[in-house]
Amino acid sequence: MKKVLALLLAMLLCLGLLAGCGGQDDGGDAGDGDGGEATGSVYYLNFKPEQDEAWQALAAAYTEESGVPVTVVTAASGNYETTLMAEMGKSEAPTLFQVNGPVGLKNWQDYCYDLSGSDIYGQLTSESFGLKGDDGSVAGIAYVVESYGLIVNKTLLSAAGYTVDDIKSFADLKRIAEDITVRSGELGFAAFSSAGMDGSSDWRFKTHLANLPIYFEYQTDGIGSTEAIKGTYLDNYRAIWDLYINNSTCAPAELSAKTGDDSRNEFLAGKAVFFQNGSWEYNNLVGEDKFSDEDLAMIPIYIGVGDEANQGLCTGTENYWCVNKEAPEENIKATLDFMNWCVTSEKGTSAMANDMGFVIPFKNAVESPNLFVKQDNEMTIAGKIPVSWNFPTMPSEEWKNVLGSALTVYAADQSDETWAGVQEAFVANWAAEYQLLNQ
């Protein structure tokens, strides 16, 4: 009997909690609603977990300044689409979300507010940072620009007897890398950190490195996207991949057993001179017990195509802000104001540059402390032409994954037959995947 009593009590307690909190919630909602009518509110579904804290701080700062409530929610890595889908179906849907480019836009086009007349669109340094929908409206706006290339440990490079200035082309890179490999026993380090093909690292090659042959093909053909890639520069892709895997910290067959963390840790431990990655790695590489700015440099990835003397870093974006068209009028307005504030106000721009480490393509941008970003600017000023990001035009995730698998097979057994598999994954599968998604 005692137990029954206890249980009943517990249940009552739960019910009380339920009722109490239900009541409280109702109150809260009503309050939000009242506020909403006056000023609107912002709900931002953020994509990058690393920047979560910085966004929360910035949102709080904005709320304090303007009185507009801003909620920032970060979707867990790999779950953005699922989360967005669920959240969009809810009564308080995100007002601000992001897509990764034309391919991602296809899904969400119906939800994108036309940003063409907005203040923030006018703040862009170049119209090319707007993402155009099928109907010519501006569906998305790039809010961060990133660069990637080969990150160089300058200390190790000079220990091997070279400087960054010695590398001006693929031929130079190959010569130096192979020389380091020959002397690796005596030097105590290898040329490249392991090109891990684990899911945490393979995007560096199946997506970012694959961008180069695609970029040069688009350049040659004068196009910006295609439904069937020709694979004109696949031989160069093979050459650079060979270079990566045969001059690495580990045997090519072991690459499939390496993760992104492994690769970074090798580079941090001074076991490799080159590390292909992007400006987002800056905070992981520089700091206490790590490198200082003087130790590092980022150089373009040369693959032996085009005007290598004037090639810059790979610079672009796959992060576009979109505003939810279905949101209430006042919330759309509040969202547009918030976006504008982020990229124009002093607080907003400095938070984006310093706390998040972003380079934003807007007129009022503050210079970022990020070394790699600074280098990108210097190169652009020196007249080098940045390689644009074309991987948002890759037909699907599936295409990337198939390519990744083929690259791994090739790495374990470098023969023409296995390379034919890579070619197949690159060329034939592009057309097939494009067909499948655009039928």
How many other C-beta atoms can be found within 10 angstroms of the C-beta atom of residue 107? 12
246 is a site residue for other proteins (CB under 8 A): no
Residue range at the interface with other proteins (CB under 8 A); choices 58-66, 83-91, 137-145, 220-228: 83-91
* Residues contacting other proteins: total by CB under 8 A: 74
φ, ψ of residue 405 to 5 degrees: the values are -60, -40
Binders of other proteins among 307-336, rule CB under 8 A?
326
Q: What tokens were used for 254?
A: 């072991």
Q: What is d(CA 433, CA 418) in angstroms, rounded to the nearest whole number?
A: 21
Binders of other proteins among 157-186, rule CB under 8 A?
none
- Residue 166 Cβ vs other proteins, minimum distance, rounded to whole Å: 29
424 is a site residue for other proteins (CB under 8 A): no
Residue range at the interface with other proteins (CB under 8 A); choices 153-161, 237-245, 356-364, 394-402: 394-402
Residue range at the interface with other proteins (CB under 8 A); choices 340-348, 369-377, 384-392, 404-412: 404-412
Residue range at the interface with other proteins (CB under 8 A); choices 226-234, 375-383, 397-405, 415-423: 397-405
383 is a site residue for other proteins (CB under 8 A): no
382 is a site residue for other proteins (CB under 8 A): no
- Residue 359 Cβ vs other proteins, minimum distance, rounded to whole Å: 16
- Residue 396 Cβ vs other proteins, minimum distance, rounded to whole Å: 11
197 is a site residue for other proteins (CB under 8 A): yes
Binders of other proteins among 89-108, rule CB under 8 A?
89-92, 107-108
18 is a site residue for other proteins (CB under 8 A): yes
- Residue 180 Cβ vs other proteins, minimum distance, rounded to whole Å: 23
- What count of Cα atoms within 13 Å lies in the side-chain half-sphere of residue 396? 15
414 is a site residue for other proteins (CB under 8 A): no
Q: Name the residue among 40, 116, 24, 133 with its Cα closest to residue 335.
A: 40
Q: What is d(CA 54, CA 47) in angstroms, rounded to the nearest whole number?
A: 13
401 is a site residue for other proteins (CB under 8 A): yes
What three-state secondary structure class fits 70? strand
Which residue number, 114 or 398, has a Cβ lying nearer to other proteins? 398
- Residue 119 Cβ vs other proteins, minimum distance, rounded to whole Å: 26
Q: Could you tell me how many helices (H) and strands (E) the chain has, helices first?
A: 19, 12
Binders of other proteins among 25-64, rule CB under 8 A?
25-26, 29, 43, 47-50, 52-53
Q: What is d(CA 140, CA 339) in angstroms, rounded to the nearest whole number?
A: 12
Q: What is d(CA 250, CA 271) in angstroms, rounded to the nearest whole number?
A: 11
Among 181, 232, 284, 345, binds other proteins (CB under 8 A): 284
12 is a site residue for other proteins (CB under 8 A): no
Q: What is d(CA 388, CA 317) in angstroms, rounded to the nearest whole number?
A: 9
What three-state secondary structure class fits 298? strand
Q: Name the residue among 26, 125, 129, 32 with its Cα closest to residue 334.
A: 32
Which residue number, 32 or 293, has a Cβ lying nearer to other proteins? 32
Among 57, 164, 187, 412, binds other proteins (CB under 8 A): 412
9 is a site residue for other proteins (CB under 8 A): no
86 is a site residue for other proteins (CB under 8 A): yes
Q: Which helix (H) or strand (E) holds 74?
A: strand 70-74
Q: What tokens were used for 235?
A: 């031989």
3-state helix, strand, coil in the chain (%, to 5): 55, 15, 30
- Residue 69's identity, in one-letter code, is P
Which residues face 322 on adjacent strands? 97
78 is a site residue for other proteins (CB under 8 A): yes
How many other C-beta atoms can be found within 10 angstroms of the C-beta atom of residue 182? 11
Which residue number, 182 or 257, has a Cβ lying nearer to other proteins? 257
CA angle 217, 222, 225 (to 5 degrees): 70
82 is a site residue for other proteins (CB under 8 A): yes
What is the widest separation between alpha-carbon atoms in the chain? 87
Which residue number, 256 or 390, has a Cβ lying nearer to other proteins? 256
